[in-house]
C-alpha cells in the first residue's frame, strides 16, 4: 500500500480507480481515498460505488459529489449522516435551486424506499423531475409505481 501512496501523487485517478474489490478492504484504502477526493473526485466516486469499504457512507469522509453518487441504494444512519452533511454544506434541502445539485441529491437516494428518501425526491421533483423519477429505480413499492404512472400522464402528486 505504500507504493500506492507514492504513485497517487503521480497518477491519482488510476490509483483511486484501483482501490476496489479485496484491495478496498485494506485499512489504508479509506485514508488514501479521502486524500484523493479533491484531486480525482470522479475516480474516487467510481471506486466507492462498488466498494464495501468502511469509507462508503462514513460521515467523517469528505462530503463530495462522488460520495453522494456512491450512496445510491445505501440506507442506514451512516449514509444518511453523509447525505445530511452534504445537504447542510449547501444550505439544506430547501436551498437547492440548481438542477445539477438536485440531480446529485436524487442520485444519492436511488433505490431507497424509506420516508426520508421520499421526502428528498418530493422536495426536488420541481427542480429536477427526471432525476427525482430516476431515483425510484430499483423500487417496486406502490408509491414508486404511482410516481411513474403520474409522470407518464403529467400529474404531480406524492
Determine contact, residues 93/126, Cβ cutoff 8 Å. Answer: no
41 shares its domain with 107: no
48 shares its domain with 76: no
Note the pLDDT of residue 22.
65
Contacts of 9 (CB under 8 A, 6+ apart): none
If you write DSSP's letter for every residue of 119-134 in order, what string do you get? Answer: HHHHHHTTT-HHHHHH
Q: Is residue 66 part of a domain?
A: no
Domain of 101, in residue numbers: 71-158
Note the pLDDT of residue 122.
96
Note the pLDDT of residue 116.
96
The model's pTM = 0.62
- The segments of the chain whose pLDDT lies below 50 read 50-63
The count of domains in the chain is 2
Note the pLDDT of residue 96.
94
DSSP class of residue 9 equals T
Amino acid at each position: 500500500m505504500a507504493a500506492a501512496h507514492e504513485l497517487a501523487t503521480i497518477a491519482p485517478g488510476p490509483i483511486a480507480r484501483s482501490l476496489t474489490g479485496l484491495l478496498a478492504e485494506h485499512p489504508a484504502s479509506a485514508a488514501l481515498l479521502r486524500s484523493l477526493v479533491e484531486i480525482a473526485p470522479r475516480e474516487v466516486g467510481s471506486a466507492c460505488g462498488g466498494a464495501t469499504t468502511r469509507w462508503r457512507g462514513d460521515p467523517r469522509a469528505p462530503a463530495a459529489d462522488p460520495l453522494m453518487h456512491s450512496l445510491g441504494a445505501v440506507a442506514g444512519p451512516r449514509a444518511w449522516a453523509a447525505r445530511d452533511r452534504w445537504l447542510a454544506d449547501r444550505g439544506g434541502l430547501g436551498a437547492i435551486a440548481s438542477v445539477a445539485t438536485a440531480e446529485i441529491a436524487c442520485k444519492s437516494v436511488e433505490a431507497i424506499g424509506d420516508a426520508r428518501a421520499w421526502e428528498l425526491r418530493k422536495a426536488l421533483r420541481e427542480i429536477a423531475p427526471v432525476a427525482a423519477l430516476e431515483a425510484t429505480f430499483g423500487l417496486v413499492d406502490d408509491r414508486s409505481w404511482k410516481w411513474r404512472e403520474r409522470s407518464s400522464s403529467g400529474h404531480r402528486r406524492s
